[in-house]
Amino acid sequence: MSSSVVMEAERVPRRLPPPNRRRDKTRFSCHTCHRRKLKCDRKQPCARCVKSGCGISCTYVGSFLSTGVSPSCRPLAPLSAEQPVVHDTYQRQASPTTNDLEASIPSPAIALSDLVSDLRGNLDLGNSESGYKATSHWTSILNDVREVEETPALSGDRRLDAVTTDQDSSLTPNVLLLQGCRQASKEEILASLPRRAVADRLVAHYFAATEFSLCILHKVEFLKQYDKFWKSPTSFPVSWLGLLFSIFCLSIQFQNPEIRLPPASESITGPKASVSALIQQHRERIVQCLVLAKYGRGGPFTVETLLHYLMAETSLRHDSDMELWLVLGTLVQIAIKMGYHRDPDNFTSLSAFQGEMRRRVWSTIYQADMSVSTQLGLPRIIKDAISDTLQPSNLLDSDFSASSDVLPCTRTDQEVTPALILTSKYRIMSVFSTILDLITDFQTTSYAAIQQIDSRLNANFASIPESCKYRSLSLSIMDPPTLIFQRLYIQILYHRAQIILHLRYFAMARDSRPYEQSRRIAVGAALSILHHHQLIDEESQPGGRLGSHVIQSPFMSHEFLLATSVICFYVHHFKGQIEPAKLDEIIDVSKKTETIWCRTRADSTESMKASKALRIVIDEIERNKGADRDTTADGIEQVTGMEDTLSKHSSPP
């Protein structure tokens, strides 16, 4: 090619920067402070990012470290307050040059034996509901998407600042056990009992709805007590009355899952007013019975009644509530006071029947502790070191009774019982407890240890009987709805454990290939949870396989919120690293999930925040796709123009 042709090609117009563009300068502030035009202290994370709850997004251009930056800098802060943060161990030289500083930064694959922990978490003292949340909590992860909402295209009613992290107290019905209610005598409580026929229907529906989800009451023995009660109501202790009213309350809630109590300052109106009033009445009776029975001292039926009461209060809320954690703490302390944390075989005074029922109750409390604590971003209450209670046997209630001297042989794993569902969840929860303890430990944890726990989690999940594992609905045609849902929930619990275990290294995976496995596991688990979310939502509609057998309580919603926040974080921070097929799947699942959250956003602060974040992420993806198409079109146009010019000069005369 002649030199004249080359010179002509070089004269092809190209895009130039705007004339007012200033010379590029070295940026010393983190991305967030630079965009918000704030002064940055150049630490990792900087003080402003920590204060605003965006520590996980505090990153710098390239490998910059100024002389004022702590030698503990890393390119990305940890996702979890309980997980250790990466710190460099090199010693900074006096007045180092920029090249020296860049060369002194170790790669993201630095050995974790050289690391120390950064377990700050997020502490918000500005709201009426001040509180601490671990940075592994879904709201802490989602706070990082605030960077996206500041772009002009996403301003206005989609700003996340319009949504508070904590639930507005005006939307939360009072927890009567903590707030108090008027006292009542046993006679007044007995006088408020429904007719026997109504009570029979409520009890029957309770046991049908909790067929595979709850086994803390022995059906046969309870029905014997129930029949005796109607023959001599005054002879039964008031604590048993509280248990009965808790069954009434839950039964009505199971039949009316859409019922949520309004704020105390509002009146109940509409066709469901009588149902809401009935729930409120039974709820009040539970507390009155507990107070009258002096529940703080323990005693027969106290723990069971408190556990049912916790479930009733939880089911009344769209969002998580700190007060539920306080009720849980009370329940745990009373259960420990009554010795539930010690295996019944340690005490000859307990019969075989009593021992087996105590194992069921303690396992339920143990799992509720981890669910509520994780949901609120707080450490769990029960520590494994204090308890030696074994898991219950795989037995039906008809297999043993209060008169049994010894327990019969356990059933095989192919025979599904409520106790088998409970112990299957425990196989996940026992590893999940290790994960929670690990990420709240102040000691450094190596990536090898994370992988070992991951192997243990997978092994425990694989050991769950096939009869308790999720299978497609087409293979579950003859299975009851409660069993289908419990299988789904076991799968969701497994994926939740995967996410929280790999959360920190998932964040670091964008800068370090050795942690790519954590990214793959966390994102895959989050997508699986959201697919299950859509399935549960679809099958819970009228005519669906689950019908009204699923109550959308915060216990279950937290897993969906966690998965939503992980997907938002992934899309926002891994731009350009997501395969097109995976991105299409994310767009599809995000749009469907946003639709689900939008249905309850008027009543739920958490749903509102999740739906807004998803909309921001969806808009960002589509905007980036549009920009990519424009760039591709411009590139093709420039190449075509250059080819025409070259062709004109290179063609024969």
Spatial contact of 317 and 253, defined as CB atoms under 8 Å apart = no
Per-residue pLDDT tens over the stretch 603-653: 788 888 888 888 888 888 888 776 655 554 455 455 455 455 545 544 444
Binning pLDDT at 50, 70 and 90, where does residue 73 land? very low
- Average pLDDT, whole number, for the chain? 77
Give residue 199's pLDDT. Answer: 96
Tens of pLDDT, residues 272-295: 568 888 888 999 999 999 999 999
Tell me what pLDDT residue 613 has: 86
Confidence grade of residue 260 (pLDDT, cut at 50, 70, 90): low
Within 10 angstroms of residue 185's Cβ, the number of other Cβ atoms is 11
List the one residue out of 59, 44, 79, 57 whose CA is nearest residue 566. 79
Structure tokens at 286: 């539970």
CA–CA dist 636, 647 (Å, integer): 16
547, two tokens = 């019908």
Interval 154-188: pLDDT, tens: 334 433 433 333 444 333 467 888 888 889 999 99
CA–CA dist 449, 641 (Å, integer) = 57
The whole-angstrom separation of Cα 266 and Cα 273 is 12
Predicted confidence at residue 39, as pLDDT, reads 81
pLDDT score for 149: 46
Q: 210 or 23: which carries more pLDDT confidence?
A: 210
Query: Which of 607, 616, 621 is CA-nearest to residue 139?
Result: 607
Instruction: State residue 262's pLDDT score.
Output: 53
The residue-averaged pLDDT of 15-34 equals 60
Model-level pTM greater than 0.85? no
d(CA 523, CA 436): 19
Coarse DSSP helix, strand, coil percentages of the chain, rounded to the nearest 5 percent: 60, 0, 40
Mean pLDDT of 575-586: 87
Q: What is the mean pLDDT of residues 556-562?
A: 88
Paired with 122 in beta bridges are: 133
Q: What is the predicted pLDDT for the residue at 140?
A: 66
Could you tell me which residue, 85 or 422, shows the higher pLDDT? 422
| Amino acid present at 201 | R
Centre a 10 Å sphere on the Cβ of residue 443 and count the other Cβ atoms it contains.
8
Model confidence at 523, pLDDT cuts 50, 70, 90, reads very high
What CA–CA distance (Å, rounded) separates 527 from 513? 21
Better pLDDT: 229 or 147: 229
Range from 107-111, 125-129, 535-539 that averages highest in pLDDT = 535-539
Q: Are 269 and 262 in contact (CB under 8 A)?
A: no
* pLDDT at res. 180: 81
